[in-house]
């Protein structure tokens, strides 16, 4: 059966893509952020996953508001990135794992999560930047299964629903007869707000509570309504929902291998957390 090794959760701020393109990893502004990834890269080198299940939100590249799925699962052979309008470089196409994609789709629908399936799916910076951070300067040595969560147009799925969705994905993966080793990559967050007069708000206290809770008490986060999450972590801080899905996939309990929290990256409180299944 497939094995879930652990998860790596990271912010996906577009400016990171620009910094990578300009080789600013040693620049004083960026160094504390990029240095945080050394431990995550070492963990990946040690565990050699075959597949990355990437939980993220699309920012108006693959999905427009004409059709906005709450949960969508990629089932493509290859995923390509594209022009997002403001100058982020694209990356080489990344291979998919269609067998695992369909196993997850079968599993979660049987578990009453009626998802949208995507045999074609453009991946935006929320997928490409984490891949570049985890496997710098190379094509990622993993197949990917992208899973998109609507964090853009309210109503959003609740935190409680996201945890259960992740748990259903986890059951589908561990029930899938293959020898694949799977890493979960959850992207987005933590606290940040891009729009409105409150733009630039950051909430380190709530971010810390999220990081601590995700290790072994994710249900501490499922009591927060979407409105609570916006108030506490900002209009885009709701991307914590992607992390909650990812944590659901892992199941319980986990061990925290690594954490790096760094403000500011652009408008965002950036965070990196590596969790390993115990």
Partner 1 sequence: MSGTPIPGTYLFDGRMARKGYALNKMCYSFNDAKNRQEFRVDEDAYCDRFGLSEEQKLAIKNRSVLALLAAGGNVYYLAKFAGIFGLNVQDIGAQQTGLSVQEFKARLASYAKFNAAVTAGGPSHV
Nearest Cα neighbor of 219 from 252, 188, 242 is 252
Q: Does 184 bind partner 1 (CB under 8 A)?
A: no
12 has catalytic annotation: no
Choices 46-54, 94-102, 176-184, 202-210; region in contact with partner 1 by CB under 8 A: 202-210
Under the binding rule (CB under 8 A), the answer on residue 263 touching partner 1 is yes
Q: Which of 136, 175, 196, 223 binds partner 1 (CB under 8 A)?
A: 196
Q: How far is the CB of 122 from partner 1 (least distance, A)?
A: 9
Shortest reach from residue 156's CB to partner 1, in Å: 10
Q: Does 24 bind partner 1 (CB under 8 A)?
A: no
Q: Which of 84, 93, 251, 277 is in the footprint of partner 1 by CB under 8 A?
A: 84
Residue placing its CB nearer to partner 1 in the complex, 78 or 228? 228
Task: Classify residue 37 as exposed, middle or buried by CB count within 10 Å of its CB (0-12, 13-18, 19+).
Answer: buried
From 19, 73, 104, 211, residue interacting with partner 1 (rule: CB under 8 A): 211
55 preceded by cis ω (within 30°)? no
How are the residues of the chain apportioned to helix, strand and coil, as percentages rounded to the nearest 5?
35, 20, 40
Nearer to partner 1, 187 or 267 (CB): 267
Instruction: Report which of 154, 172, 193 is spatially closest to residue 51, judged by C-alpha positions.
Output: 172
Task: Based on the residue annotation, tell me whether 47 is a catalytic residue of this protein.
Answer: no
In the set 47, 192, 227, 258, the catalytic residue is: 192
Q: How far apart are CA 199 and CA 159, in angstroms?
A: 23
Please choose, from the candidates 195, 237, 243, 171, the residue with its C-alpha nearest in 3D space to the C-alpha of residue 10: 243
- Whichever of 70 and 260 has its CB closer to partner 1, that residue is 260
Contacts (Cβ under 8 Å, ≥6 apart) of 167: 248, 249, 251
How many C-alpha atoms does 18 have within 13 Å on its Cβ side? 8
* Residue from 153, 175, 219, 223 binding partner 1 (CB under 8 A): 153
CB of 245 closer than 8 Å to CB of 186: yes
Q: In angstroms, how far is the first alpha carbon of the chain from the final one? A: 17
**Chain residues that interact with partner 1, rule: CB under 8 A:** 14-15, 32, 39, 59-61, 64-66, 82-87, 152-155, 193-200, 202, 204, 207-208, 211-212, 225-228, 230-231, 235-236, 255-264, 266-267, 269, 271, 273
Catalytic residues: 125, 192
């Amino acid at each position: 059966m497939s094995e879930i090794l652990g998860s790596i959760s990271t912010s996906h701020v577009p400016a990171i893509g620009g910094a990578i393109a300009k080789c600013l990893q040693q620049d004083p502004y960026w160094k504390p952020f990029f240095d945080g990834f050394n431990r995550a890269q070492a963990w990946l080198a040690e565990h050699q996953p075959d597949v990355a299940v990437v939980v993220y939100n699309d920012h108006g590249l693959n999905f427009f508001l004409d059709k906005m799925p709450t949960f969508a699962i990629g089932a493509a052979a290859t995923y390509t990135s594209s022009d997002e309008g403001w100058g982020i470089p694209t990356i080489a196409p990344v291979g998919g794992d269609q067998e695992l994609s369909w196993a997850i789709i079968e599993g979660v629908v049987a578990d009453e999560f009626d998802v949208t399936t995507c045999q074609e799916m453009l991946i935006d910076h929320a997928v490409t930047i984490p891949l570049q951070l985890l496997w710098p300067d190379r094509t990622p040595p993993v197949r990917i299964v992208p899973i998109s969560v609507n964090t853009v147009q309210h109503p959003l799925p609740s935190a409680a629903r996201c945890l259960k969705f992740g748990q259903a994905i986890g059951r589908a993966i561990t029930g899938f007869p293959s020898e694949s080793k799977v890493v979960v990559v959850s992207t987005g967050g933590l606290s940040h707000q891009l729009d409105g007069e409150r733009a630039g708000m950051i909430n380190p206290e709530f971010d810390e509570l999220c990081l601590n809770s995700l290790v072994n008490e994710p249900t501490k986060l499922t009591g927060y309504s979407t409105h609570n999450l916006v108030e506490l972590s900002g209009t885009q801080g709701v991307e914590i929902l992607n992390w909650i899905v990812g944590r659901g996939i892992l199941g319980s309990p986990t061990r925290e291998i690594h954490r790096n929290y760094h403000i500011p990256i652009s408008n965002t409180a950036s965070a990196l957390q590596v969790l390993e299944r115990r």
